[in-house]
Chains A and B, each alone.
Chain A
Amino acid sequence: MRTQSGNALLGILAWLVALAIFFPILWLLLTAFKTEQEAFSVDPTFWFMPTLESFKTALAQGSGYWHYAWNSALTAVASTIIGLALAVPAAYAMAFYPNKRTDFLLVWMVSTKFIPAVGVLIPIFLVYKTVGLLDHALGLTLLFTAMNLPIIVWMVYSYFRDIPKDIVEAADIDGASVLQTLFKVVLPLALPGLASTGLLALILAWNESFWSITMTDHRAATLAVYIASFKSAEGLFWAKMSAASVLAIAPIIVLGWFTQRQMVRGLTFGAVK
């Protein structure tokens, strides 16, 4: 009896937490379909006549939604692919051929994430200015790769660690080369993990706003810049900005929806030792 009521309580709590997390997105969605006056109203309304006016403005010719969306997709996908391509060999070496510096190396890599991004803004800005990578899709791709690489390496490393070393040794004894072991033995086993790592990197890059706003202007500007452009010191803009945000997060939410099973499996993979 006690455990049952405990479970019910836990269930209610889980629902409440989920609702609290989901509410801002729900509110964003509702605001996007309101008029500017309703969106701004001091008494929040749940029931109103939905309008597509804000979406029309957000998608109007000249707003450049597709231009920004393309840049977001390009930089997110490219940085994820490069990130995985660099991280897999690194994690493989660290997981299966560790030496006494491996642990230190892992911690050191993740420690680069401790610095706030703005701390390295000026050097990176100046380097980019010199090599001509400001407002360039390649520049942003490299930044996203560097930004996500420690996380990707760390995650891939922990998935590899869960694969019994005996399997790798058996492949060795059977005469498989390192590449054969990697591609034919290790990667297929770690595929769910790789998929969720890739997805996470994709989401992080897609949602990134600090570097996108500071390092790009027009040519390589992503959806973060697009959303920011709707803010104004004069006039009402909440509904338009909400519509723009909905359009910006829609692709990644849809992607997350379709891959959620894979994602959950990947993230809990190896959780039970």
Chain B
Amino acid sequence: MRRFARVLPVIGMSGMGLAGLGVCLPAMAQSTEITVATVNNPDMVTMQSMMSAFHQAHPDIKVNWVTLPENELRQKVTTDIASGAGQYDVVTVSNYETPIWAQNDWLKPLDEDLPEDYDVDDLLAPVKEGLSVDGELYALPFYAESSVTYYRKDLFEKAGIEMPEKPTWDQMKEFASKIHSPSDGVYGICLRGLPGWGQNMALFGTMVNSFGGRWFDMDWTPQLDSPEWKNAANAYVELLNDYGPPGVTSNGFTESETLFANGQCGMWVDSTVAASYVSDPDTSKVAEDVGFAQAPYQTTEKGSNWLFTWALAVPQSSQHQDAAETFIEWATSKDYINAVADEKGWLSVPPGTRQSTYDSADYKQAAPFAPLVEKAISSASPTDPSAQEVPYTGVQFVTIPQFQAIGTRVGQLMAAMLSGQQSVDDALSQGQAFTERLMQQTGKPQ
């Protein structure tokens, strides 16, 4: 209020009375109001629609939502926390920024305050690890995903081939060649081609790992010009150019998902969250014929499937930390999962976070792909992502602040490579030069 008084004379000088314009101060409410910053993904939409359950249990906490596209949200939240503005009490973060922000002292450590019945040991180990620094949790997982291979059982049968439990990229190419039939509107394989560190680079990052490559050596020297990167890039380009859909550089997750659900892809390697969409007859034309396998590998299984977690955290700048913690404990609890299952069915529960979800007989019955998803998430290895030694953690990303810029740039080069604007060698040497320069400018991580 006092701060406000300082600007009032300025407005007064303009000779305009603002009273009549209805600009009024926020009403002093009895209850605590918290602001939750989040994205518009389907599981978050479900969370917003479950709010009456939260209000019943906690009538004294009022929740306001700020929903923004992912990149805008990340920028706004970063500005807010770094400047200490404290507009947000709960922020939606991933396992990419959680360790970085925790080390900046931006997020509140959560272990101490978690109640007994939260059952923190029920959280899947790689998911929990990705949100912890030195064994301390800084965010609670809301849902998590890994990558798997989706394929068309009917097309495989017709071609007389069989999908192994975990195929190699060489096999993927062979299978693609056998089922590729553009005249029937079926492309051998769909993969992400849309540039972005969270789009094509999520998939391509796992390819590099499985070809034995790594982003940096132990001295933080970029390795993009290594033979492993070249092999992975050649395999990626050949697969998509020979057996991919047209215009693949504009296909991200959603576009590929739609193509697969429309029956236009023979195989598709992507996020586990698509499993329920492609096997639901209401949304997918191929629901009956979807087969699942683990994500492909080549020379090593290490880092061949990614791990991405959407989690809820409380910024240190929040003025309502207790209420905020109450909220994130509720939204990531077993009770929440059960409440969603009761109200909307088991296919709508946020996947990938709790062992108890995967132990539930009801869930297994509703989601036949559940064991596969659980296996993919549990086998993801963020702390050991490459056959070679690495100084970083993260499967499809590197948990350093510079990675967002690096991943974005290299993602653009990959797209240029796919569309034939650049050769594999040129694209990789440019990526190498860009990464070297950026690391020099910003200094190596400690």
> Which A residues fall within an 8 A CB radius of B?
37, 40, 62, 74, 77-78, 81-82, 85-86, 125-126, 129-135, 137-138, 141-142, 213-214, 217-219, 221, 225, 228-237
Contact = CB atoms under 8 A, between A and B. Distances in A.
30 contacts: A40-B254, A40-B258, A62-B48, A62-B51, A78-B21, A85-B14, A85-B15, A86-B14, A129-B84, A129-B85, A131-B4, A133-B4, A135-B87, A218-B35, A218-B64, A218-B66, A230-B40, A231-B69, A232-B40, A232-B42, A233-B41, A233-B70, A233-B198, A233-B253, A233-B254, A234-B41, A234-B254, A235-B254, A236-B254, A237-B40
Contacts of B49: 62
A232 B41 contact: yes
Nearest to B37: A217
B16 interface: yes
A232 B42 CA distance: 8
A148 to B, nearest CB: 14
Nearest to B36: A218
Given A78-B21, A138-B23, A234 B273 contact: yes
A147 to B, nearest CB: 15
B1 to A, nearest CB: 8
Contacts, number: 103
B118 interface: no
The range of chain B's interface size is 35 or more
Main secondary structure of the interface of B (DSSP, over half): mixed
Given A213-B68, A217-B87, A81 B21 contact: yes
Interface string B60-86: 000011111110100010010001110
B160 interface: no
Contacts of B37: 217
B18 interface: yes
B39 interface: yes
B83 A228 contact: no
A82 B66 contact: no
Nearest to B246: A42
A85 B68 contact: no
A133 B7 contact: yes
B242 to A, nearest CB: 21
Interface string B236-256: 000000000000000011100
Given A125-B79, A217-B37, A234-B273, 10 more contacts: A74-B21, A74-B22, A81-B21, A125-B83, A137-B23, A218-B35, A225-B68, A233-B70, A233-B253, A233-B254
A219 B26 contact: yes
A26 B65 CA distance: 31
Interface string B19-41: 00111001000000001010111
A167 to B, nearest CB: 25
B68 A229 contact: yes
A125 B86 CA distance: 12
Nearest to A219: B26
B158 interface: no
Contacts of A131: 3-4, 6-7
Contacts of A221: 66
A228 B21 CA distance: 27
Contacts of A77: 21
Contact of A234 (B18, B42, B51, B84): B42
B196 to A, nearest CB: 9
B211 interface: no
Given A129-B85, A132-B3, A233-B198, A78 B79 contact: no
